[in-house]
Amino acid sequence: MNNERVVELLRDLIAIPSVNPVYDPASPGEGGMAACVEAWATGLGLPVERQNVFPGRDNILVRLAGPEGAPILLFEAHMDTVGIDGMSAPFAPEVRDDRVYGRGACDTKGSLAAMMAAVERLVSDGAALACTVELLAAVDEETSGKGALAFV
């Protein structure tokens, strides 16, 4: 997998404010992240399903189809972050000493970027899949986990 692509995706995701509204009632929540993941998937020609969990806060499910009736491999990461109190530039990603800094870099925009890059690689390689691969970008993990609960 191309680490530069993972870093590029991660920088893009960090730049999108996605503070859970519980921490900041003025926050737009995960709307920008959902739009980004949806645009990324449709750009790859993959189908996207939106699952409304709260008003304006949707889970995004991306599907890379395998054989009919094959098992499903699910990648899941959440799109919301905790608050930004005490951070000087939380949505300005910075690469320093081979690390990426910014709100959500570790929890869990980094994981989401890696999952997105893996799906990109599967699409670009045109590999014959033994399973269906799904990527779920979920809302509201930082407070109640209702995004994941709505999915299951």
**Statement: residue 1 has pLDDT above 70:** no
Backbone angles phi, psi at 51, to 5 degrees: -125, 110
- Residue 80 appears among annotated catalytic residues: yes
pLDDT band at 71 (very low <50, low <70, confident <90, very high): very high
Q: Where are the beta strands (DSSP E) in the chain?
A: 48-54, 57-64, 72-78, 94-96, 99-101, 132-138
Active site includes 141? yes
Catalytic member of 38, 120, 141, 142: 141
Beta-carbon-side half-sphere exposure of residue 57 (alpha carbons within 13 Å)? 24
Tens of pLDDT, residue by residue over 22-67, are 999 999 999 999 999 999 999 999 999 999 999 999 999 999 999 9
- pLDDT score at 127: 84
**What pLDDT shows up at residue 25?**
95
The CA distance from 122 to 133, in Å, is 9
pLDDT at residue number 50: 98
- According to the model, what pLDDT value does residue 86 have? 92
- For the 3-151 domain, the top CATH level (class) is alpha beta
Collapsed DSSP state (helix, strand, coil) of residue 127: coil
pLDDT for position 2: 72
94-133 pLDDT per residue, tens: 999 999 999 999 999 999 999 999 999 999 999 899 999 9
How confident is the prediction for the chain on average, in pLDDT?
97
Task: Say how far apart CA 116 and CA 123 lie, in whole Å.
Answer: 11
Which residue among the candidates 38, 58, 80, 134 is catalytic per the annotation?
A: 80
CB atoms < 10 A from the CB of 137, how many?
Answer: 29
pLDDT, one tens digit per residue, over 3-22 is: 999 999 999 999 999 999 99
Average pLDDT score over residue span 74-88: 96
Task: Answer for the pair 59, 139: CB distance below 8 angstroms, yes or no.
Answer: yes
Spatial separation of the C-alpha atoms in residues 94 and 117, rounded to whole Å: 19
Q: Where are the domains of the chain?
A: 3-151
